[in-house]
Amino acid sequence: MGYISLQFDKVKGTSDTRMSEHIERKTMPSNADSSRTHLNRELIRFPEGVNNRNEAISHRIKTAGIKRKIADNQVHAIRILLSGTHEDLMQVVQEGKLDQWCEDNLQWLYDTYGRENTVSAVLHMDEKTPHIHATVIPIVKGERRKARKEKDTGKKKYRKKSTDNVRLCADDVLTREKLVAYHDSYAQAMQPYGLERGIRGSEARHITTAQYYREVKRQTQELEQGLTRLSQKTADAEEKLEKVNKEIDTKRLEKVKTDTKTAIYSAVGSIFGKGKIEKLEEEKRLLTQDLEQKDKQIASIQREKVHADKQHVQCMNDLRNEYEMKIDTLERSMEEVDRYFPYVRGLLSIARECQGYGFSNEMVLQLVHFKPVPFKGSLYSKQHRRYIETDGATAKVEKVSKYACKFQLCIDGMPILEWFKQQWNLIQEKMKAARMSNKPKRGMRL
């Protein structure tokens, strides 16, 4: 028996455009087979006036009767990926049970999260293993976990809120206990298809991103080395085959010559006797055996070449599939980086900007840690296309108050572009004063 695959991802913010484009195939991933995309299915019909997954998420939240204000950075939806072991799901497809498998998955989603909260479910058949992308809105009722905790600890509550109001709360849906229960109930629903739950409490853990890519690099190098050896072996086989073909052509020519000589010797044998004819026949027999042996060698080499070609094609397909899977995993990892560390991209942009102005790597490292950096010397202004000198100033990276993940470089408390403008005006004033002092004075002649 194979194993179920159940993955959960939170969707923060009012839109999940990037994942919607992937699910709805508005953008085609590299690991998808476009010739099979027509087999994909939308398993849930949208309400009237709703045209896509993003609109379905907003529609459910607006019509759920939620009274509390929903923050923009709050979890608005939960992505659930439902799948299983590749071999078992391919057997489901071959046995014609795919429709029933989809219905059982939908029924599990409805029973677990509610029919109204399950706003989208899309079957993908154009990737290696069939799977379903489901979208669930975490709308719950009942007392909040925080309130229950305060009650248990005896903390006084000044205002008691109704427990009948609906709330948008992913934390109540994705507790550790409920995640365990989800895997248990989903495994029970998938038993008719030969799928079971993984070992509970297994010590298997996800490796870090750095370890993952080191392993990918190592496996890639091994595959490239294997392909190099296979290519060399193929080239050797082709060279050997060409050599044997030349030998065969030579032997066949010799055979024609021998047959001609035999005919001549037969005519001469009638005059000179049978001794020489028997000797020629023995030579012909030996030559025929040698030729048959060469033919067998050619057949063997051709079989080796066909086998080598198949191995080469298989290795290339395996490598391509592996690369596509790694790229898909990398894209998911980048989504997680953007989700859990949204400030990383902003700091990377600031770091490149600081290097362009002329700050050293050590100074850039201090700046992205939000430390003030005193300096003197020159900074390059792209706007003025020249270096601006300063006898002493302090640089610091500060957060732009309007944006949660946007930063700017300031010099002496001023944004750097304004500081450049101020310094350039001072330079212009000094240059003007110098020209005025060097201008010859004009007087009246008497």
pLDDT tens per residue across span 89-120: 999 999 999 999 999 999 999 999 999 999 99
Pairing of strands 118-124, 41-42: antiparallel
Identity of the highest mean pLDDT range in 110-114, 144-148, 212-216: 110-114
Question: Residue type at 308?
Answer: A
- Residue 324 confidence (pLDDT): 87
Average pLDDT, the chain: 83
Identity of the highest mean pLDDT range in 81-90, 230-239, 318-327: 81-90
Specify the DSSP element, H or E, that contains 387.
strand 386-399
- Residue 217 confidence (pLDDT): 66
Determine the Cα–Cα distance for residues 35 and 52; give it in Å rounded to an integer.
Answer: 23
pLDDT tens per residue across span 216-264: 567 767 777 777 777 777 777 778 777 777 776 676 667 766 666 666 5
Residues of the chain above pLDDT 90, percent? 42
- Selected residue with higher pLDDT from 337 and 420: 420
Question: Residue type at 77?
Answer: A
Is pLDDT at 204 greater than 60 in this prediction? no
Residues 351 and 368 sit within 8 Å (Cβ to Cβ):
yes
pLDDT tens per residue across span 167-190: 999 889 999 999 999 999 999 999
- Selected residue with higher pLDDT from 331 and 421: 421
- Residue 15 confidence (pLDDT): 81
Is pLDDT at 446 greater than 70 in this prediction? no
Determine the Cα–Cα distance for residues 305 and 54; give it in Å rounded to an integer.
Answer: 53
Residues 76 and 14 sit within 8 Å (Cβ to Cβ):
yes
Determine the Cα–Cα distance for residues 340 and 343; give it in Å rounded to an integer.
Answer: 9
The HSE-up count of residue 68 (CA atoms within 13 Å, CB side) is 16
pTM summary value: 0.47
- Residue 142 confidence (pLDDT): 76
Closest by CA to 108, choosing from 132, 127, 90, is 132
Closest by CA to 234, choosing from 304, 313, 294, is 304
Find the mean pLDDT for residues 338-349.
81
Instruction: Tell me the residue ranges of DSSP E strands in 152-193.
Output: 167-168
- Residue 163 confidence (pLDDT): 65
- Residue 39 confidence (pLDDT): 93
Find the mean pLDDT for residues 193-216.
63
User: How far from chain centre, in Å, is Cα 17?
Assistant: 17
- Residue 273 confidence (pLDDT): 53
Residues 223 and 28 sit within 8 Å (Cβ to Cβ):
no
pLDDT tens per residue across span 384-399: 888 999 999 999 999 8
